[in-house]
Each structure stands twice: as structure tokens, then as C-alpha cells.
Copies of this chain bind each other. A is one copy, B any other.
């Protein structure tokens, strides 16, 4: 992503450098956010007891229950998607740092490929965020129409960590969106 502002050769070079720093910062942020999101959900589990009272005259029953991150396929997909996005962010950073020293047609082609891959990451991360949000809402509120009870009243800490991972991943996804958008603006501004 190279942006050149109008206003002479010096201003243009300054603009390109500024854009380069912004791009690198955004990529590092996206890498960190998707990495932490994947780790937070990958290490999420909770052992607790569910208190069941069948009748007021009978004693309460304490049933041990467990929540694990891989119990729901959406959470598994979320971890894989964030891990893939994180690995890609690292690879794209490496490629861009090498490209900064070089140039020419090959470098131009790699930059185009990176921009398209950024859009792919937007699709991958937003789909995993959508899936996890859908399951998260069901876990928190349940659905009476299909008789799916809420579970977050029992697994409060587990659900809280899911929402943290979700927020981090959503900001990371927005980072990839910004990278793609800035690349398009930069290409349009190119002299």
C-alpha cells in the first residue's frame, strides 16, 4: 500500500513513508489482536456446579457441569480463523519488510496479492465473528421457540471470556478492513 499526496516530490515521498508506517502498525495490531483472541478462546473452560431443586420439600442437588471451548463448532472455527489471520498477518509483515527494500513489477504484484488476501481475512474473520456472536446470543438469552435454554447464567466466566475474545477479534477484523480500504485509496491516489 503506497499513498502519495499531491504537493511535489518531497511531499509524495513523505506521504508514502507515512502510509508505510501506518500499514505496518495496523498489521502488527491485527496480528496481536487475532493472536490474543485465539488464545483467550482456546484456553477457555469452566467447571462449576448447577443447583437443581426439583421440589421445595426435597434437598437441593449440586450437579457438576463443565464448559469447554471445543464443545461448539463455532468456537472451534473462531480459534482456527483467528490463528490463520494471525499467521497471515505475520507473513504479510515479513513480505512487506522485504518489499520495502526492493521494488519493480514483482513487488507490485505481491502488494496486489497482499491487498486481496487482506479482503480474504475480512471475509474469514467476519464470518467467524458472526458465528460466535450468534452462538453467544443463544447462550446468553436462549430461545424459547426452539427450546434452547440459556447457559451463561451457569457458565458466567466462560461466557465473559468469549465476549472478550469476540471484541478483540472484531477490532482485528476491522484492522484488516482498514488495511484493504487504505490500499484502495492509495492506489487511486497513485500518480
With A143-B71, A188-B109, A188-B111: A134-B123 Cβ-Cβ less than 8 Å: no
Question: Is A87 on the interface with B (CB-CB < 8 A)?
Answer: no
Besides the contacts A119-B177, A122-B126, A187-B188, what 9 more A-B pairs have beta carbons closer than 8 Å? Answer: A112-B185, A116-B180, A119-B180, A122-B123, A123-B126, A135-B135, A138-B148, A146-B149, A184-B187
Question: Is A74 on the interface with B (CB-CB < 8 A)?
Answer: yes
Question: Is A183 on the interface with B (CB-CB < 8 A)?
Answer: yes
Taking CB atoms, residues of chain B closer than 8 Å to A138 are 135, 138, 148
With A116-B184, A130-B127, A177-B120: A149-B147 Cβ-Cβ less than 8 Å: yes
Question: Interface on A for B, CB 8 Å cutoff?
Answer: 67-68, 71-74, 108-109, 111-112, 115-116, 119-120, 122-124, 126-135, 137-139, 143, 145-149, 151, 173, 177, 180-181, 183-185, 187-188, 190
| Cα distance, A129 to B74, chains bound together (Å) | 12
| Cα distance, A116 to B127, chains bound together (Å) | 18
Asked whether, in the complex, the Cβ of B146 is within 8 Å of the Cβ of A71, the reply is yes
Taking CB atoms, residues of chain B closer than 8 Å to A129 are 127, 130
Q: Smallest CB-CB separation from A143: which chain B residue?
A: B72
**The residue from B71, B108, B119, B187 contacting A145, defined by CB atoms under 8 A apart:** B71
**Min distance, Cβ A184 to any Cβ of chain B, angstroms:** 5
Selected A-B contacts with CB under 8 Å, 24 pairs: A72-B143, A72-B146, A73-B134, A73-B137, A109-B188, A112-B185, A116-B181, A119-B181, A120-B177, A122-B123, A122-B126, A123-B126, A127-B133, A130-B130, A130-B131, A130-B134, A131-B134, A134-B134, A135-B135, A138-B148, A147-B149, A183-B184, A184-B184, A187-B188
